[in-house]
Structure 1
Amino acid sequence: MTPPDSPSATTDAPGTPAAQAAPATGGCPVAHGAGGAEPAPLLLGGDRFQSDPIGLYRDLRRDHGPVAPVVLPGKLPAWLVIGYRELHQVTSDPVLYSRDSDLWNQWDRVPENWPLLPMIGKQESILYTVGERHRRRAAVMEGGLEAVEAHELRATTERLADSLIDDFCGSGEAEVIADYAMMLPALVLFQLFGLPESEGRGLAHAINDMINGGERALAGQQHIRECVGRMVADLHVHPRDHVTSRMLRLSGHLPGEDRSVITDEFSAAEIIQDVLVMVVAGHQPTADWIGNTLRLMLTDTRFAASLFGGRHSIAEAMNEVLWEDTPSQNIAGRWATRDTHIGGRRIREGDLLILSFAGANYDPLVRTDQSALTGGNNAFFSFGHGEHRCPFPAREIAEIVARTAIEVILDRLPDIDLAVAAEELTRRPSPWLRGLTRLPVSFTPVPAG
């Protein structure tokens, strides 16, 4: 798993002056290797991330190898790690490839209103904390999540799913993304973390705005932060028992249990930021997991049995989505702490490496027969890897919510069918998370309740 001794390409790293001076066509200069001129770096966020991701990552691997130069909005250069082996190497070495975004060698070129600041910017959250402090913060987070009882979570999800389905089950038609998948995870998480259920729809839209990285990204982030801040402040006046209050007790901000995990080392602002991270990271990927799985089951005959009350193929469909259509496509990121080489590339200190979970999942080195890899193979990168991976309790919560959501809608609407041609379905404009914009369905009307 060590970097190659003889790089196959000599492209200047994104942090070099040559890269910074590159024209609008790319943030890295063209390399001239044995195969001739290398194609210009890809703009991260182009149409093919939505329309043809498999072909896109195949072409990137052919043209650039397992570590490809890309350009972020504002002509800011970065590396996209699409090789399975290389991604494993980066996520396994937090000393060389740090999560500390302060290391980025491009900060002097980032405008204050840059739309990707919510995804990459300097933050107080656990996402960008490293070393022992990260491990202690993770203990607070996992301590709060571990108290969630699986059977209670399933019951809560079923109740909220039934409530959402009651709103449209009598009409014989629905738009599953907006009316169901995009609402249910948020409502469940608000219950778990103590956020007001009444603000669910607005918060769900704010989360989506933030993740899409468009002109409303910063406003969406601010809306979520303000809502979480109000909730945390209210806990000091009206204590309640949920994930957020347990995190505050573990960090010394509320009286109660003391597991000797953390003292009052972490500020209330840090707890607020971590709750924001968990709500955002828990809602949108789970919503897309639900939507992408229902799309697969409604368009692929291999999973038709589940549409008639069967249970055996729901888990397989969910697993296949994590390989073929994973919600978490590309994650920012890691920053090199010193000059190094990986995947035949020269990486400069401070360069940004974006983790392409989707690219790694498609890597022919692990997909030699291009199979779907269902049937329990969980070697996908969809939940990350290493010490910054998705915590196990959070993965378990997401799986329970997603599976329960799919089971309930198939039980309630057993003849559900796609209301448009599969080719008409479109994806949300985001290179980060992959999900549908719409999933219109039809079914025999049934009474509410």
Structure 2
Amino acid sequence: MTGAAPGPVPLSGPRFATEPAQLYREMRRDHGPVAPVLLDGDVPAWLVLGYRELHQVTGDPVLFSRDSELWNQWPAIPADWPLLPMIGHRQPSILYTVGERHTRRAAMISHALEAVDPFELRAHAETFADELIDRFCGTGATDIIAEYAMLLPVRVLARVYGFSDEQGPGLVTAMNDMIDGRERALAGQQHLAGSMMRLIADKHEKPGLDVASYMIETQLTEDGSDFTDEEIAQDLMVMMAAGHQPTADWIGNSLRLMLTDDRFAASLFGGRNSVAEAMNEVLWEDTPTQNVAGRWASRDTRLGGRHINAGDLLLLGLAAANADPQIRTDGSALTGGNSAHFAFGHGEHRCPFPAQEVAEVIARTGIEVLLDRLPDLDLAVPAGDLTRRPSPWLRGLTDLPVRFTPTPTSAFGDPR
């Protein structure tokens, strides 16, 4: 007599923060490369754990669609379901646009981001990194997450979007209020949405060398003439949200690795290669975006030995796929700058390559400037005391307390 098959796994709980790799191994052992899971309110879905299976799902946008209207669970979803903002019912952003319109919309975003000068981008990141470090460099101690990583990406993105530097702090507050998901989340979202619409109106009047102006430039051509200001504003919001939290976590997770792993200790002080190596390892082993919702089966099919019904929701298990033992037999994925990870997704709906490059410049510059300015940076608590946000979606530290020898401020002064 055999035991009952393991039931669906709740996609919640502390293990996603404390031991996700072990949890994914157990799910793969019990369920194979495609595991049944339960979202908030016991809503069923599938989590794609296998590297090959995830490649199949993300590479076939017809069978595994981004159209959330296909979901067979909509009749059971309450109006206050907490994951609605993530799933996207009738949302106008590019995340849930499909087909030819998605292709043109993605091209508009890529065109705008490709126009960002990489040398200017790095200069912007250096400027804001120096200004933020000036706030705490004389104290000898700080929390890198709250006082640095969670502030830097938005400031840089705001400048390349075309916002004035005076608007930057308000956008930082709005974005972090949205991430906190507490009582100020709605106010943060409203501030961000209003700011984007005002930015677009300003750039119609006075275009510049910035992302918003480049998107409007596409909008005014024959190919983009049916894109509305509201759609551009939505896409700017999506890009800022997607570029802020994961990049902040990329900075935090990479610094945690460099401060806790002996392999990086010898080259920590000014070692440029060690920064790149740590950042690449994080994308494989500790990727900021762990799981993504989602794809919907457009018809009945089979995947990883499972029968998938039309309208079923599939979640992309990026972190689990990165650790799939079928592709990680010798650890070589971590060497030589191997970028075959799923940290940025894959296929038609992946993070656009220019957006990946922007995130990498911001993160790497932020880390390098910090280590240059504070060369004896060290953890202020035992490594085992560091905690993670209890989220199955984004993986990042709640704080990263550090100490260092107090140093003078730079020439930029305090940006407050």
TM-score range, shorter chain: over 0.9
**Which whole-Å deviations, capped at 9, do the CAs of 1:269-304 have from their partners, x for residues lacking one?**
111111111101111111110000000000001011
RMSD: 1.9
CA distance in 2, matches of 1:212, 1:322: 23
Match among 236, 239, 250 for residue 289 of structure 1: 250
- Does residue 233 (structure 1) correspond to residue 201 (structure 2)? The answer is yes
Partner of residue 116, structure 2: 148
CA distance in 2, matches of 1:350, 1:209: 33
Alignment of 1:32-181 (within 5 A): 36-122=3-89, 123-181=91-149
Partner of residue 184, structure 1: 152
- Matched AA of 1:284: Q
Which structure 1 residue ranges, 5 or more long, are not aligned?
1-33, 253-257
Alpha carbons of 1:333 and 1:210: their partners in 2 closer, same or farther (altered >3 Å)? farther
CA distance in 1, matches of 2:321, 2:181: 23
- Does residue 361 (structure 1) correspond to residue 322 (structure 2)? The answer is yes
Question: After the TM superposition, which of the residue ranges 200-209 and 128-137 deviates more from structure 2?
Answer: 200-209
Partner of residue 412, structure 1: 373
CA distance in 2, matches of 1:201, 1:372: 39
Is the contact made by 2:386 and 2:397 (CA closer than 8 Å) also made in structure 1? Answer: yes
**Which whole-Å deviations, capped at 9, do the CAs of 1:116-142 have from their partners, x for residues lacking one?**
122112211111111111110011111
Is the contact made by 1:115 and 1:213 (CA closer than 8 Å) also made in structure 2? Answer: no
Question: After the TM superposition, which of the residue ranges 385-394 and 192-201 deviates more from structure 2?
Answer: 192-201
CA distance in 2, matches of 1:101, 1:76: 15
Alpha carbons of 1:381 and 1:356: their partners in 2 closer, same or farther (altered >3 Å)? same
Is the contact made by 1:211 and 1:217 (CA closer than 8 Å) also made in structure 2? Answer: yes
**Which whole-Å deviations, capped at 9, do the CAs of 1:228-281 have from their partners, x for residues lacking one?**
2232233334443310111012112xxxxx5x5x23211111111111111011
Alpha carbons of 1:349 and 1:367: their partners in 2 closer, same or farther (altered >3 Å)? same
SS of 1:441 mapped into structure 2 = strand
Is the contact made by 1:154 and 1:400 (CA closer than 8 Å) also made in structure 2? Answer: yes
SS of 2:273 mapped into structure 1 = coil
- Matched AA of 1:385: H
CA distance in 2, matches of 1:37, 1:229: 55
SS of 2:307 mapped into structure 1 = strand
Partner of residue 334, structure 1: 295
SS of 1:80 mapped into structure 2 = strand
Match among 418, 422, 432 for residue 393 of structure 2: 432
Deviation at 1:91, TM superposition (A): 0.4
Alpha carbons of 1:428 and 1:207: their partners in 2 closer, same or farther (altered >3 Å)? farther
CA distance in 2, matches of 1:35, 1:251: 62
Alpha carbons of 1:383 and 1:156: their partners in 2 closer, same or farther (altered >3 Å)? same
CA distance in 1, matches of 2:95, 2:377: 39
SS of 2:234 mapped into structure 1 = helix
SS of 1:231 mapped into structure 2 = helix
Number of aligned residues: 409
SS of 1:393 mapped into structure 2 = helix
Deviation at 1:405, TM superposition (A): 0.7
CA distance in 2, matches of 1:228, 1:140: 17
- Matched AA of 2:100: E
Alpha carbons of 1:224 and 1:109: their partners in 2 closer, same or farther (altered >3 Å)? farther
CA distance in 2, matches of 1:244, 1:118: 24
CA distance in 1, matches of 2:190, 2:82: 13
Deviation at 1:57, TM superposition (A): 0.3
CA distance in 1, matches of 2:168, 2:197: 15
Alignment of 1:314-333 (within 5 A): 314-333=275-294
Is the contact made by 1:183 and 1:200 (CA closer than 8 Å) also made in structure 2? Answer: no
Is the contact made by 1:118 and 1:210 (CA closer than 8 Å) also made in structure 2? Answer: no
Which structure 2 residue ranges, 5 or more long, are not aligned?
411-416
Identity of aligned residues (%): 65
